[in-house]
Amino acid sequence: MNLAERETRLSINGERLWRSLMDLARIGATPKGGNARLALSALDGQGRDLVVGWMKEAGLQIHVDQIGNIFGRRPGRDNTLAPVMTGSHIDTQPTGGKFDGCYGVMAGLEVMRTLQQHGIQTEAPLELIIWTNEEGARFLPVMMGSGVFTGRFALDTALDARDSAGLSVRDELAAIGYAGKEPVGQRAVGAYLEAHIEQGPILEAEDRVIGIVTGSLGVRWYDVTVTGMEMHAGPTPMAVRKDALLAASEMVQAVVGIANDKLPHGRGTVGVLSVHPASRNVVPGRVDFTIDLRHVDAATLEQMDRQLHSRLADIAQRHGVALDLRQAQYNPPTPFASALSASVRASAAARGLPAMEMVTGAGHDAVHMAMAHPAAMIFVPCKDGVSHNEIEDARPEHLEAGANVLLDAMLAQAGKREQAYQTATGEAHGTA
Amino acid sequence: MNLAERETRLSINGERLWRSLMDLARIGATPKGGNARLALSALDGQGRDLVVGWMKEAGLQIHVDQIGNIFGRRPGRDNTLAPVMTGSHIDTQPTGGKFDGCYGVMAGLEVMRTLQQHGIQTEAPLELIIWTNEEGARFLPVMMGSGVFTGRFALDTALDARDSAGLSVRDELAAIGYAGKEPVGQRAVGAYLEAHIEQGPILEAEDRVIGIVTGSLGVRWYDVTVTGMEMHAGPTPMAVRKDALLAASEMVQAVVGIANDKLPHGRGTVGVLSVHPASRNVVPGRVDFTIDLRHVDAATLEQMDRQLHSRLADIAQRHGVALDLRQAQYNPPTPFASALSASVRASAAARGLPAMEMVTGAGHDAVHMAMAHPAAMIFVPCKDGVSHNEIEDARPEHLEAGANVLLDAMLAQAGKREQAYQTATGEAHGTA
């Protein structure tokens, strides 16, 4: 079967995909139409049970590892080959939506169901993954399951993490029946693909259906303290003030300016800012704030870091305030596998789906996977770019389109994956 | 006795003034050298008892009104004349200093002691006032006693005010024995003079000892809400953001800019600013902040108000955010009596004390008094302009100089006050 034939013949069932998403969304449904299914809660357990049931119906063999990641395996013709994987997460934010994470799992499930329905065997095995605790809303660190799987986090550290009520990941995994026996990170990985709503407004603004995600932005987080002099707002003339907030407000603009100098992939955000002593008639003596700088290119991000230090120091000096600028975290930009992105691009083209290259600014399990394995993502639009919100929404036809691209890309990889990786061109596709 | 004679002969006792200040500061002394003597607390009661004892020793007749203001009267030769008054407060901030308020009361006491010591009788009677609850740190409104006295606040509203523990002014006044019988605001007022530490850095910076305070800044307080769009800091490109904090930070600069356009008497301060949802990787969706604009001239302050509305609206429009700008309070500029300021100026000149005209940016009981009666203030430097702080400090020789100017000015008014008011010149002074 060549690619052209597969396109016309083999497509996922968009209605079934939508129905499964809506069925899953009943578990932990919120009054405003969202989902509250926190990681390792009883509701997460119910969600896992529901999806694992569907995975079994689709003929998948279930494996659970010690951090609770679930792997549904579909054997291939040659089971010595490393599997082509897909997946995402089904835990949500406390006031999350129905699509973030769930869509990636349901799209993968739909791929499996479609192959089963059509009796198609792939050369390499396929696996569908539900990662544990991607959101980090209840337990830190975020993207826990994929982080332990790829060796970024130690298993025991993750198992010992506790929520605000003092409950541990270890105990809560056991409580919902997902404390697996399989050692974490021991599974072979041929390739990893993840479908996801964009969680941003670009596809919608550009009127595209498929985002070919070529990598993730690097992120530098900082904590900043600006110390001026607390003084009475009335008796203190403007000229002698050391107004920490006035200086900080220039710094906020500098952060945004540094990102604006590096468009389209620069990001600069001050998300938290607090003023002391916070009295209506007192010139602020101290301001604490955070900075989030992102760029897809590590060298550019480093340049932004240097600009940040220099511009903030200038502003502090000009205002006679003290500056304490500390880097809190650094996650380097992570490029995705170009061969996988090429498969996504080829599928969108073949199906006539308007597509564009983009990067992911948000963290995803795929970013962890990409640090150790060939990985890529497929984005579909979400309404107004809104996510982590009960009003999160996406159009059924977009979700269907993304799942079809996932199907094509997985088949392209699993069919004859050695060649697909080498050429990263359309020729590699017609060989399943 | 003419003015020249009085200068050389009649001066207050600086050492006694300092000793009384330090004695009073033992009541409610804090480990860091400050004072915590909250209004109507047991410590305030002890402070009142101490000072009232001194007032009686200085020959004053004590009267307490229904809001607890204490008046120590020194009869004149003609007691049908309205008294020349001075005073301030002895309540403090929770971590207050030894001079704010206390200096004004002790300087007035020192005037009374000096006149007693030298057997001098004035034409008009003199009165020394301790106002109730100037600081407003425990009970609102601030400047309570002078506010009720001048009809700005209703007596019952003030008596019904409660602290955070639910205790009322009425009950706490009774508890410390200062629930007086005298109706509030019935006393005649010839003139009111108040000595005070500057609570600002100008006198120190200009190397002057006496501030001739010609009026108070008008104050406009605002509450502002800027509403943008809460979005992920990673996936959201810079161009589509509606960053409430970025807009607010420009507004902070506009507030300062508006004040800087109206130097030396313009003030612009953002003292409180809070960001929502305050997450490191979320573009702020909402910022709430306060604005404090001040100027000595009402028309200029109104012009600043118009500029504020226009500039903030421009910034909001440019950033695509919604602006809600609400005036929370307006206290008009209050000019002090020029005749009284003239007495202060004349005394400083005669005593060879470097002096300058200034306005008070902070609120004082004298501002309430000036709304209804001839009133003025005398400022002396405080270290680094710091006040409302345990490290508040002032130099004994400056405090002495200010009390001598108060003495001269009170004598000038009380000696032949009809004429002093009419001419406002040096000629009126030599007639006691």
Subunit contact B271:A233, Cβ cutoff 8 A: yes
Mean pLDDT across chain B, nearest whole number? 92
CATH code for the domain of B50: 3.40.630.10
pLDDT at A419 over 50: no
Residues of A in contact with B280 (CB under 8 A): 221, 271-272, 290, 292
Subunit contact B200:A264, Cβ cutoff 8 A: no
- Nearest CB to B362 within list A235, A237, A269: A235
Subunit contact B269:A281, Cβ cutoff 8 A: yes
Write the CA distances from B203 to A178, A239, B133, B199, B200, integer angstroms: 72, 14, 27, 10, 8
Exposure string over B309-333, b if 16+ CB within 10 A, otherwise e? eebbeebbeebebebebeeeeebeb
Query: Which residues face B323 on adjacent strands?
Result: B226
Domain boundary among B306, B331, B356: B331
Domain boundary among B331, B349, B366: B331
Q: What is the pLDDT of residue B9?
A: 67
Subunit contact B269:A385, Cβ cutoff 8 A: no
- Nearest CB to B278 within list A243, A272, A386: A272
Pair (A86, A143) in one structural domain: yes
- Nearest CB to A280 within list B250, B271, B278: B271
Q: What is the pLDDT of residue A281?
A: 87
Pair (B296, B384) in one structural domain: no
Q: How far apart are CA A167 and CA A169, in angstroms?
A: 7
Substitution target in A256, A265, A269 with the highest count of B β-carbons within 10 Å is A269
Q: How far apart are CA A241 and CA A228, in angstroms?
A: 8
Subunit contact A236:B200, Cβ cutoff 8 A: yes
CATH code for the domain of A271: 3.30.70.360
pLDDT at A313 over 50: yes
- Helix (H), strand (E), coil (C) string for B96-114: ECCCCCHHHHHHHHHHHHH
Subunit contact B280:A290, Cβ cutoff 8 A: yes
Q: What is the pLDDT of residues B343-365, one digit of tens each?
A: 999 999 999 999 999 999 989 99
- Nearest CB to A362 within list B205, B235, B275: B235
> Average pLDDT, stretch A143-168?
96
Distance from CA of B412 to the nearest CA of A (A): 28
- Nearest CB to A238 within list B231, B240, B260: B260
Q: How far apart are CA A208 and CA A206, in angstroms?
A: 6
pLDDT at A9 over 70: no
Subunit contact A386:B290, Cβ cutoff 8 A: no
Pair (A117, A169) in one structural domain: yes
pLDDT at A418 over 70: no
Query: pLDDT band at B390, cuts 50/70/90?
Result: confident
Q: What is the pLDDT of residue A8?
A: 55
Where in the sequence is the domain holding A354, given as residue range(s)?
3-216+334-429
Q: What is the pLDDT of residues B17-37, one digit of tens each?
A: 999 999 999 999 999 999 999
Substitution target in B249, B255, B275 with the highest count of A β-carbons within 10 Å is B249
Residues of A in contact with B260 (CB under 8 A): 238
Query: pLDDT band at A230, cuts 50/70/90?
Result: confident
- Nearest CB to B361 within list A199, A234, A256: A234
Distance from CA of B308 to the nearest CA of A (A): 16
Subunit contact B275:A279, Cβ cutoff 8 A: no
Residues of A in contact with B387 (CB under 8 A): 232, 235
Q: Which residues, in sequence order, are CB contacts of A262 under 8 Å at separation 6+? A: A295, A300, A304
A243, closest residue in chain B (CA to CA): B269
Subunit contact A361:B232, Cβ cutoff 8 A: yes
Q: What is the pLDDT of residues B60-97, one digit of tens each?
A: 999 999 999 999 999 999 999 999 999 999 999 888 99
Pair (A314, A345) in one structural domain: no
Mean pLDDT across chain A, nearest whole number? 92
Pair (A89, A204) in one structural domain: yes
B296, closest residue in chain A (CA to CA): A234
Query: pLDDT band at A103, cuts 50/70/90?
Result: very high
Query: pLDDT band at A128, cuts 50/70/90?
Result: very high
- Nearest CB to A236 within list B275, B290, B361: B361
Distance from CA of A372 to the nearest CA of B (A): 22
Substitution target in B93, B216, B224, B232 with the highest count of A β-carbons within 10 Å is B232
Pair (A198, A228) in one structural domain: no
Subunit contact A232:B284, Cβ cutoff 8 A: no
Burial class (CB in 10 A: 0-12, 13-18, 19+), A91: buried
Pair (A200, A245) in one structural domain: no
Contact by Cβ (8 Å): A284, A245: yes
What the block records as the tokens of A292 is: 């989030």
Residues of A in contact with B242 (CB under 8 A): none
Pair (A21, A169) in one structural domain: yes
Q: In 10 A of CB B29, how many CB atoms?
A: 17
> Average pLDDT, stretch A61-83?
97
Distance from CA of B199 to the nearest CA of A (A): 6
> Average pLDDT, stretch A192-213?
96
DSSP A351-376: TT--EEEEEE-S--HHHHHHHHS-EE
Substitution target in B206, B261, B280 with the highest count of A β-carbons within 10 Å is B280
Subunit contact B360:A240, Cβ cutoff 8 A: no
Q: How far apart are CA B115 and CA B58, in angstroms?
A: 9
Pair (B39, B141) in one structural domain: yes
**Tally of domains in chain B:** 2
Pair (B383, B404) in one structural domain: yes
- Nearest CB to B245 within list A205, A240, A252: A252
Domain boundary among B309, B331, B353: B331
Query: pLDDT band at A60, cuts 50/70/90?
Result: very high
Pair (A24, A10) in one structural domain: yes
Query: pLDDT band at B432, cuts 50/70/90?
Result: very low
Beta strands A286-295; A273-276: pairing state: antiparallel
pLDDT at A76 over 50: yes
Q: What is the pLDDT of residue B426?
A: 35
Q: How far apart are CA B72 and CA B22, in angstroms?
A: 21
> Average pLDDT, stretch A375-382?
98
Running DSSP on this structure, what letter comes out for residue A162?
B
Q: What percent of chain B stands above pLDDT 70? A: 94
Query: pLDDT band at A331, cuts 50/70/90?
Result: confident
Nearest to B268 by CA among A287, A276, A319, A237: A237
pTM of the predicted protein model: 0.81
Subunit contact B243:A235, Cβ cutoff 8 A: no
Residues of A in contact with B198 (CB under 8 A): 235
- Nearest CB to A271 within list B273, B281, B361: B281
Q: How far apart are CA A327 and CA A219, in angstroms?
A: 11
- Nearest CB to A271 within list B205, B273, B279: B279
Subunit contact A235:B259, Cβ cutoff 8 A: no
Nearest to B127 by CA among B176, B177, B81, B182: B81
> Average pLDDT, stretch A339-355?
97
Subunit contact A199:B271, Cβ cutoff 8 A: no
pLDDT at B416 over 60: no
B251, closest residue in chain A (CA to CA): A249
Distance from CA of B378 to the nearest CA of A (A): 14
| Total CB pairs under 8 A between chain A and B | 198
Distance from CA of A198 to the nearest CA of B (A): 8
pLDDT at B276 over 70: yes
Subunit contact B267:A238, Cβ cutoff 8 A: yes
Pair (B168, B120) in one structural domain: yes
Residue entry with tokens 């300092």: B18
First to last CA, chain B: 7
